[in-house]
Amino acid sequence: MQETLDHLAGDWKIYQLKGGHRFSADDVLTAWTASRVCPEAREILDLGSGLGSVGLLTLWRLPQAVLTGIEVQALSYGLALKTLEYNGLAGRVRYLHQDLRSALEVGKFPLVTGSPPYFPLGKATLSPHPQRAAARCELHGDVFDYCRVAAEHLQPEGRFVFVHAARDPRPEQAVRQAGLQLLSRQEVLFRSHLEPTVALFVCGFQGDRSDPPAFVIRDSQGHWTEQYLEMRAEMGTTGLRRSP
């Protein structure tokens, strides 16, 4: 399988498979949200780390923090380790090759992140590529598992930030079932005139809910919005043009 080494943030790069799962705007937005709601966090737990993109992007934005990542897929875990070594992050990151649904002996964290797969088995075409299949479909846990595990490892004042499908009712159900409170939900519009496809969720054990306006990535003409360009600059990602 052919690997590529791609820009992630600042001078950090990430290993990905050319024909496999690759990190996306969903990951960048999740990390951006996490770094904003908990800017003083010194420890981060990233559930279902995959390639490591969400956790590493959050870590890049929080230079005082250290990261623990949990990943069950051997392919993604191996790539994450290569990324860790390439960027010289051994002192700030540890990855555990483990199913997040198993007993995790990692302690409690002020900030937990996650990007659960969006589709139950049977609700979407299962990719023949094992890495892409697990990133898209719920082969190793669903949003209920992510919320439950996050609650188990969240400090009393901590925050859990995750991304999920906007039209799926289960994320809010999963938050409540885990004993958490939904503090904000921000829908993401990939085009200003289209319905949202994903939403960003922030939750904790206490606090009042306040939903920000939708985050718009492109306007109706397909041009990047100022909001998106400013977010990318804040997250250390470069190379975007104002029009596709």
In the predicted model, is pLDDT for residue 239 greater than 90? Answer: no
The CATH number that domain 3-234 falls under is 3.40.50.150
22 within 8 A of 16, measured Cβ to Cβ: yes
Under a CB-based contact definition with an 8 Å cutoff, are residues 106 and 51 in contact?
no
Model pLDDT, residue 132: 64
pLDDT digits (tens, 9 = 90+) for 159-185: 999 999 999 999 999 999 999 999 999
State residue 75's pLDDT score: 93
Based on its alpha-carbon atoms, the radius of gyration of the chain, rounded to whole angstroms, reads 17
Does the pLDDT of residue 240 top 50, yes or no? no
Identify the band that residue 244 occupies on the pLDDT scale cut at 50, 70 and 90.
Answer: very low
- Using pLDDT thresholds of 50, 70 and 90, give the confidence band for residue 1: confident
Percent of the chain with pLDDT over 90: 84
Give yes or no for residue 16 having a pLDDT over 70.
Answer: yes
- CA–CA gap between residue 220 and residue 37 (Å, rounded): 29
pLDDT at 242: 40
* Predicted pLDDT of residue 118: 81
Q: pLDDT tens across 94-144, in order?
A: 999 999 999 899 999 999 999 998 867 677 666 666 676 566 666 678 999
Q: Is the pLDDT of residue 10 over 80?
A: yes
Any idea where the domains of the chain sit in the sequence? 3-234
List the beta bridge partners of residue 205. Answer: none
The whole model's pTM is what? 0.93
Q: For the stretch 206-235, what's the b/e string if a residue is b when 16 or more beta carbons lie within 10 angstroms of its beta carbon?
A: eeeeeeeeebbbbbeeeebbeebbebbeeb
Strand, coil or helix: what is 65?
coil
Tens digit of each residue's pLDDT (9 = 90 or more) over 215-232: 999 999 999 999 999 999
**Is the dihedral angle over the CA atoms 61, 62, 63, 68 positive or is it negative?**
negative
Number of residues assigned to the chain: 244
